[in-house]
Structure 1
Amino acid sequence: MDQQASVDAESIRQRAWIEYREPETARVDQPVWVAEDRESGCLAIGDVRIEAVGNLVAAVDEYERSDTDTPLLKARGQSIPRRLGRENETAPLIDRLLPWR
């Protein structure tokens, strides 16, 4: 990938799967917005929708600039490898958000 290229933020926003989720476990006590780009496998969360989408754009940008095939999870300024990646569509949300679990 060209290290100077940047992602098309509008394309990512348009293809993003975005959902508001209530807590499903005691480990997550506040509702969150979840945004996922199924093309790259990256996933992001935020306290508000715009934060989740912005985190997703940043995660996809970082992913596409990296030398790895591992999608990223981004939340509150941190990007970490997403353990389950693209094959994770049927996993519970908590497993999709907390890859270190």
Structure 2
Amino acid sequence: MTVASSEDPDGPELLFEPSEHPAVKPYKDALVADGIPAHSFQVVNLDAERKRLGELDVEFVVEPMDAGPVRMAVFDDTCGNLIQLIEMTDTAAA
């Protein structure tokens, strides 16, 4: 299955592979137990994305925070993965 942004349907697509291989669950469980996001996506405005996703009942496990040259937040995708959102800060360009 693939998904694309409704704002840019001809833009990048994400491909979701089946999780039926026996190695997938232990791998995902280990990443979540260690707090390691499976994927990271850059956003323009982290606070706006946090608000928008929160209104859709997305559960964040790490609220937006400063992390060096980025601001970051992490949410649970309800499929056994942690997803990280990052926003580049002005210090990233310096």
**TM-score category (smaller protein):** under 0.3
- What's the TM-score once normalised by structure 2's chain length? 0.25
Q: Which has the higher strand share?
A: 2
If asked which structure has higher relative contact order (CA below 8 Å, sep 6+), I would say 2
- What's the TM-score once normalised by structure 1's chain length? 0.24
Whose radius of gyration is greater, 1 or 2? 2
Q: Which has the higher helix share?
A: 1
